[in-house]
Structure formats: C-alpha cells, structure tokens
C-alpha cells in the first residue's frame, strides 16, 4: 500500500474527551471476588485499548482524529459481544479498511478469545461503507490478510504505541 | 429426545481448525488448520468410537493456512488446498498403525488463496475455487498428474466453496457475492447453467442431499436455504428453486451445513459456537414443494469459538437402509472450531 500521498492532508485534531484509565478502579473489586471469575469488560475498557492506535498516514491517534470515540462502542459482556464503529476522517478514505483491520487486530490480541468482535464504519460516513464492513467482518479474509507480511507490518506499526 | 453427545476431543492443531473430512469408509478423519498442517485421525484399536489418535500429519507442502481438504472417492488420495494458492494431491501409504502421505501432484494456477476443493464421484475430476473469483476443474491423467480442463469465471467475488452433484456432471459453487452458481458440461465445455439468488450475504457452505435433488446452503445472513430441482424450467431458464428457509435459529454467521447421506438430517456449525441438528418433518421429503425441517438438537458452546465445519461420517454404501443401520449403529458427526479443536459427536434419535 502506498502511504506516500496523504488522503486527507489536513485533518481536524481533537483533544481527548475522556480521561485515561490507567488501571481498573480498584474500589470496584470486591474482596470476595472468586479467583478466575469472569473479568467483566465494558465499553470504556475497549476504548482504552484502541484510543491510542495510530492513524496509518498521520502521527496522530484514532482518538485525536475522532475516528474512534467511546460512544461508538457497545459491549454486552454476557453474550461476549463487542461492537465497535469508527468514523473515517473523509467519506472516500481509502484507508478505512486498514483502520478497521488495525482495530480488529488490536482487540484480537487484547481480549479473551470468547469475544465476538464486530468492527464497522459509522453508518453514513463512508462511500463504500457496506463493502468495507463486509470485508472487515469476513474472518477468512481477515485471516488471509494477516498472513500478508507487508500488511501485518503496516498494522503492527499502527498499533505499536497503543498500550499506554 | 434426540441428542448429540461428545465422544472425543482431538487436540493437536496449534491454530484455528477450519475443516474436517471423513474418508469414504468412515475410518479416518482429516482436519485442516491455520497452523499450515493437515492432521489425520484414526480410532485406537479396540477403542470403539470414542478413542482416537493422530495417525499422520501432513506438515510440509503448505506455506500458509490449509483451508480445506477432500478425500478421493477411492480413499487413497487426499486433495489439500491452501491460502498459499496451491492445491496438492497426496497418496496414502500404510506404515503399520501409522500412515504416511506422499506428494503426488501440485496443482498451480489460482492467483491467491484457494478456499475449497472437491472430488467428483467418479474420481476423475477435482474442482477448486478461491479468492481470485474463479472455479477450476482439473482432470486426473493416467500418469498421476492433473491437467486443468477449464477455468470458470462468473462469480464477481471470492468463491468460498465447491461441491459436486453425486451422480451427474454438475458442479455447485458458493460465493462472497451472495450467490450459488451451477456449472454444467456440454460436450467438452463447461458453462454456468444457473445462478441461485436468495441469500443476502456471503454463502459459506453448500451440501447436496444424497440423491442430488436438493441443495442446502449456509450464509453470513444467518439462514440456511433449501433448494430443489424441478423438471420444468422457469421462464428465466432456472430449474433450481428455493423451497425452504431456516431462519431465526442461528444468532451469527452459519459457516457450515452438512446433509446426512442417508438420513433426513441437516447439521450446521455457526459463529455463535453452536452445532444444531435439523430433522426433516414426517411426511416432508424430496418430493415436497414446501418441505419443513424441525430443530431437533442445539449444542450451545459446542466449541469455545466459532464452529467452522461440521461433517457427517460416511459409512460404506449398503444395499438397504436397514443394512446400513446395522453396519453403523452410531451416527457420527465431526466438527472443527476456532478453539483449535476437532470434536467427534454421536447423534442418537429419540
């Protein structure tokens, strides 16, 4: 993929709206919690995982570009379902699939395997929304893409600084 | 109450198990994985249906995910397809209780990931399909090599699976373009005879009924459709029409459907981790224009992850249904999951 020419040369940069959560609020943990009890995951935790993922073409995070926001994340821990929507900076962004793939890979590596993750574009924010969503949620194509050395290199670079 | 009981959990794959295929005599099970290997499993001597061991591993050959495999009808050969673009044909060689597989031929031509492979009933042809949107038909030569007979274009997207009609020169393919295509032979030429439209997302799996008069298809739209062949063609030229829709049962993508060769049973494997068994209702049959299927068994959390494949064990053909039942008292199902496991199940009717 040619990353030489920027699709959106001058994106709007936003300040973080949610404070970083360094650790889980310890007061929430009850001493009677069973060892090995299921770790409940919520939307804030998912946002924490992806907010610092880098944009493929800018030295900025998905949070700074408001590509990812807390209100676009839905989690149902009981049914192990995570639904992440993201908003490309421009409606013709050719990086949309790559951004979605970065979010998917980051969550794949961070969440317990029981989670069923759906990553899709916020409705109405991209010209090829349907095609990109279908590709991002076809696990066979995602698996094949992740066996592509060049592509996984680009993805790894985008998520390298995301654990803060 | 009908039930599906777990007989064996086969551990060995290091990554997602994609596919399982029973040998024609039902004695061996082959499984494919993202760990680039095929594992062959057999029953332990005297162990009945519940004791299995890995009798061979094919670990050289594929440089990427092994997506699918198929036994030749004679049971001597195994065709294996990989995301690396290759199809390889392996010959089974006995080595005491262990088996080994020798590479006979490499079939090259697909531009990228090969997704599925199927052997025609007479063993003379092998079909493959892949992400390059094409379906290839290969013919077995006398010298053990394979020659490409035709490359079929028509699908507009990634082709997920191919399956042959059990008795006629007819091939079915399922695609990411939401359609199923039926390819037929005219002289030496293959052409697309029909395109089946009805699913609203990728068609992941197709299965012919034993007699070949009906087809089941499973999709990302969370439904299974049943198609039937009619004698009279529709004005548009089609003979195959949708006669039944199984909707509302699967919470996520249906990745696999399997039709039992001699019993009115459909099994499905889905992205909601469950295996389901549907039985065709009393009185409904291949002759019915509006067949009905009842959900008989649901095994929730059959795997700790998506169920990628289900396959009914094949048993040696018997002259009568009674003889078949006597020869195979247990109806076995194998499954493959994202949890890297392969499982063997026993189905018991009520």
Q: What is the pLDDT of residues B239-280, one digit of tens each?
A: 999 999 999 999 999 999 999 999 999 999 999 999 999 999
Task: Please give, rounded to a whole number of angstroms, the shortest distance from the CA of A133 to a CA of chain B.
Answer: 12
Q: What percentage of chain A reaches a pLDDT higher than 90?
A: 71
Question: Comparing C-alpha atoms, which of B232, B181, B229, B226 is closest to residue B207?
Answer: B226
- Measure the CA–CA gap between B31 and B46, rounded to whole angstroms: 23
Q: What is the pLDDT of residues B91-141, one digit of tens each?
A: 999 877 789 999 999 999 999 999 999 999 999 999 999 999 999 999 999
Instruction: Report chain B residues whose CB lies below 8 A from the CB of A134.
Output: 176, 201-202
pLDDT score of A37? 57
Query: CA nearest A144 in B: which residue?
Result: B83
What are the beta bridge partners of residue B66?
B82
What token pair was written down for B11? 């551990």
Q: What percentage of chain B reaches a pLDDT higher than 90?
A: 84
3-state secondary structure (DSSP) of residue B243: strand
pTM of the model: 0.92
Question: Comparing C-alpha atoms, which of A46, A155, A138, A59 is closest to residue A99?
Answer: A155
Cα dihedral A107, A108, A114, A120 sign: positive
| Confidence tier at A14 by pLDDT (50, 70, 90) | confident
Give residue limits of the domains in chain B: 3-348
Q: What is the pLDDT of residues A55-65, one digit of tens each?
A: 999 999 999 99
Identify whether the C-beta of residue B173 lies closer than 8 Å to the C-beta of residue B159.
yes
Between A116, A141, A147, which is nearest B271 by CB? A116
Between A116, A143, A147, which is nearest B252 by CB? A116
| Confidence tier at B47 by pLDDT (50, 70, 90) | confident
What are the beta bridge partners of residue B54?
B41
- Tell whether B202 lies on the interface with A, counting CB pairs under 8 A: yes
CA dist B164 to A158, B120, B181, Å? 44, 6, 12
Size of interface A-B (CB pairs under 8 A): 33
ipTM comes to 0.94
Q: What is the pLDDT of residues A26-54, one digit of tens each?
A: 444 444 445 555 668 999 999 999 999 99
Instruction: Report chain A residues whose CB lies below 8 A from the CB of B256.
Output: none
Q: Once rounded to an integer, what is the mean pLDDT over residues B155-163?
A: 98
Cα dihedral B310, B34, A143, A109 sign: positive
Q: How far is CA B51 from the centre of its chain?
A: 24
Question: Is 3.30.300.130 the CATH number for A40-159?
Answer: yes
Task: Please give, rounded to a whole number of angstroms, the shortest distance from the CA of A64 to a CA of chain B.
Answer: 33
pLDDT score of B320? 53
- Measure the CA–CA gap between B119 and B137, rounded to whole angstroms: 10
pLDDT score of B71? 98
In the CATH scheme, what is the homologous superfamily, with its name and number, of domain B3-348?
Answer: YVTN repeat-like/Quinoprotein amine dehydrogenase (2.130.10.10)
Q: What percentage of chain B reaches a pLDDT higher than 70?
A: 96
H/E segment holding residue B269: strand B265-270
What token pair was written down for B65? 């995910």
Q: What is the pLDDT of residues B1-30, one digit of tens each?
A: 899 999 999 999 999 999 999 999 999 999
Identify whether the C-beta of residue A57 lies closer than 8 Å to the C-beta of residue A6.
yes
Q: Are strands B254-259 and B240-246 parallel, antiparallel or unpaired?
A: unpaired
- Measure the CA–CA gap between A78 and B285, rounded to whole angstroms: 40
Between A114, A141, A144, which is nearest B304 by CB? A114
């Amino acid at each position: 993929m040619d990353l030489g020419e920027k699709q959106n040369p001058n994106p709007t940069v936003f300040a973080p709206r949610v404070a970083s959560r360094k650790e889980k609020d310890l007061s929430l943990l009850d001493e009677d919690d069973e060892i090995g009890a299921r770790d409940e995951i919520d939307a804030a935790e998912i946002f924490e995982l992806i907010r610092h993922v880098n944009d493929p073409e800018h030295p900025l995070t998905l949070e700074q570009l408001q590509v990812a926001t807390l209100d676009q994340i839905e989690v149902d821990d009981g049914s192990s379902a995570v639904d992440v929507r993201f908003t490309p900076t421009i409606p013709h962004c050719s990086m949309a699939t790559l951004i979605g793939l970065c979010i998917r890979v980051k969550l794949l590596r961070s969440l317990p395997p029981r989670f069923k993750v759906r990553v899709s574009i916020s409705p109405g924010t991209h010209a090829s929304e349907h095609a990109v969503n279908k590709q991002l949620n076809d696990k066979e194509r995602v698996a094949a893409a992740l066996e592509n050395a060049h592509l996984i290199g680009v993805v790894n670079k985008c998520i390298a600084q995301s654990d803060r | 109450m009908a039930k599906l009981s777990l007989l064996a959990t086969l551990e060995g794959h290091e990554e997602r198990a994609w596919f399982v295929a029973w040998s024609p005599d039902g004695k061996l099970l082959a499984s494919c994985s993202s760990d680039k290997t095929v594992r062959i499993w057999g029953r332990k001597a005297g162990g009945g249906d519940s004791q299995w061991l890995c009798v061979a591993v094919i670990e050289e050959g594929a440089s990427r995910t092994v997506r699918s495999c198929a036994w030749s009808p004679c049971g001597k050969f195994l065709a294996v397809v990989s995301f690396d673009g290759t199809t390889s044909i392996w010959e089974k060689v006995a080595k005491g209780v262990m088996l080994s597989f020798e590479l006979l031929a490499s079939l090259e031509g697909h531009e990228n990931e090969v997704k599925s492979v199927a052997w025609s009933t007479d063993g003379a042809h092998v079909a493959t399909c892949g992400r390059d949107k094409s379906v290839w038909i290969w013919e077995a030569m006398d010298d053990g090599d394979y020659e490409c007979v035709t490359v079929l274009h028509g699908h507009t997207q990634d082709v997920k699976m191919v399956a042959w009609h059990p008795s006629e020169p007819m091939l079915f393919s399922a695609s990411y373009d939401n359609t199923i295509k039926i390819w037929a032979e005219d002289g030496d030429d293959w052409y697309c005879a029909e395109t089946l439209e009805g699913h609203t997302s990728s068609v992941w799996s197709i299965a012919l009924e034993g007699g070949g008069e009906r087809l089941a298809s499973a999709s990302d739209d969370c439904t299974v459709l049943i198609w039937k062949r009619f004698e009279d063609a529709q004005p548009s030229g089609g003979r195959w029409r949708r006669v039944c829709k199984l909707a509302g049962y699967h919470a996520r993508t249906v990745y696999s459907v399997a039709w039992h060769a001699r019993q009115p049973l459909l099994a499905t494997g889905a992205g909601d981790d469950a295996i389901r068994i549907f039985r065709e209702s009393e009185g409904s049959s291949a002759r019915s224009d509006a067949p009905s299927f009842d959900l008989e068994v649901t095994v929730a959390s059959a795997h700790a992850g998506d169920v990628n494949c289900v396959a009914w064990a094949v048993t040696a053909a018997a002259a009568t249904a009674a003889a078949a039942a006597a020869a195979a008292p247990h109806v076995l199902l194998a499954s493959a999951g994202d949890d890297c496991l392969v499982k063997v199940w026993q189905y018991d009717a009520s």
